[in-house]
């Protein structure tokens, strides 16, 4: 082979290798571009999630959907039948109880969950009174069975099961003058295993002494309730999405005393972490009872 022929062959081989390198470079550029596009889409989705996701109002006495120790009710079980239990978290690390009280015998005991709301057993035309004995005193509440029959019926059902006995108030929020309890785990995230529909009032006003249901959105009430202790409860009036089902008739000063207790982590609470609103010293519901105090028409 002449020198000229060999040079031409080497030139063709060099050109082919260069073409292969150029093609590989184009493929790398395409892969990089696709990856960048995917990352961009993910960023947009995450951004939309931040903008359009669950924007919990830290001033609202709402609860997140049940998580953690909750047990989902069996779909085959009859309504109002027991399907599982929830074990409460410790009220605090020290074991200290507010107002010089001791922890009740039922503190820390697991609580039942149930399949579906219970059957209606109350008389919506009757008057019912709830007596709540707490670590800081007794609160007496007249329940409104007429305007919130399903809520009062559920509250009465759980009370008869001893559901609230030994629970503790897990949230004190001075921005809306709320003391909140009724969560079997004490985390603010649990309930009785079922939900009940809202029974809202037009132009509801959350005045001092109001007993209402907490929720995580429409028709998600369960067992968590709150009591309004002062004038800042009116901050909820513009968002009247919490079923009012009673009013304190005795012992509002006890609720006010609970409200005035220090919380466990004011800095965390100020940053929107509702767990920081737990009382630094435990406030237990030692006993809750309900009795019929007036017959229906």
Q: What is the pLDDT of residues 228-253, one digit of tens each?
A: 999 999 999 999 999 999 999 999 99
Of 240, 113, 119, 256, nearest to 178 by C-alpha is 256
DSSP character for 134? E
Q: Give the lowest-confidence range in 2-11, 143-152, 207-216.
A: 2-11
CA distances from 258 to 20, 198, 210, 215, 285 (A): 78, 27, 15, 22, 12
Per-residue pLDDT tens digits for 3-41: 455 555 555 555 555 655 665 555 444 433 434 443 333
Q: Is 183 exposed, middle or buried (0-12, 13-18, 19+ CB in 10 A)?
A: buried
What does the pLDDT read at residue 71? 39
- Radius of gyration from C-alpha coordinates of the chain: 30
H or E segment to which residue 133 belongs:
strand 127-134
Mapped onto helix, strand or coil, the DSSP state of residue 65 is coil
What does the pLDDT read at residue 33? 43
Of 204, 246, 196, nearest to 222 by C-alpha is 196
Q: How far apart are CA 214 and CA 245, in angstroms?
A: 11
pTM (two decimals): 0.77
Which is more confidently placed, 9 or 172?
A: 172
Per-residue pLDDT tens digits for 93-139: 999 999 999 999 999 999 999 999 999 999 999 999 999 999 999 99
């Amino acid at each position: 082979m002449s020198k000229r022929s060999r040079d031409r062959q080497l030139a063709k081989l060099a050109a082919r290798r260069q073409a292969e390198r150029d093609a590989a470079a184009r493929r790398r550029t395409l892969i990089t571009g696709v990856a960048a596009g995917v990352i961009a889409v993910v960023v947009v989705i995450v951004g939309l999630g931040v903008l359009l996701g669950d924007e919990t109002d830290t001033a609202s006495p709402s609860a997140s959907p049940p998580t953690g120790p909750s047990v989902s009710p069996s779909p085959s079980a009859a309504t109002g039948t027991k399907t599982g239990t929830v074990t409460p978290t410790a009220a605090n690390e020290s074991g200290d109880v507010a107002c010089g009280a001791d922890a009740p015998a039922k503190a820390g005991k697991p609580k039942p969950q149930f399949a579906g709301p219970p059957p209606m057993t109350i008389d919506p035309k009757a008057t019912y009174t709830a007596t709540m004995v707490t670590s800081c005193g007794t609160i007496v509440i007249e329940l409104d069975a007429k305007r919130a029959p399903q809520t009062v019926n559920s509250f009465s059902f759980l009370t008869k099961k001893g559901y609230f006995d030994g629970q503790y108030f897990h949230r004190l929020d001075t921005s809306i003058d709320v003391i909140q309890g009724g969560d079997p785990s004490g985390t603010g995230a649990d309930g009785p295993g079922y939900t009940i529909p809202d029974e809202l009032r037009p132009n509801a006003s959350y005045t001092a002494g109001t007993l209402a249901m907490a929720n995580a959105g429409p028709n998600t009430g369960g067992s968590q309730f709150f009591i309004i202790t002062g004038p800042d409860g009116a901050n909820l009036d513009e968002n009247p999405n919490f079923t009012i089902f009673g009013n304190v008739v005795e012992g509002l000063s006890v609720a006010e005393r609970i409200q005035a207790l220090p919380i466990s982590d004011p800095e965390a609470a100020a940053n929107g972490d509702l767990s920081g609103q737990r009382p630094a010293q435990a406030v237990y519901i030692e006993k809750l009872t309900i009795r019929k105090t007036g017959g229906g028409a």
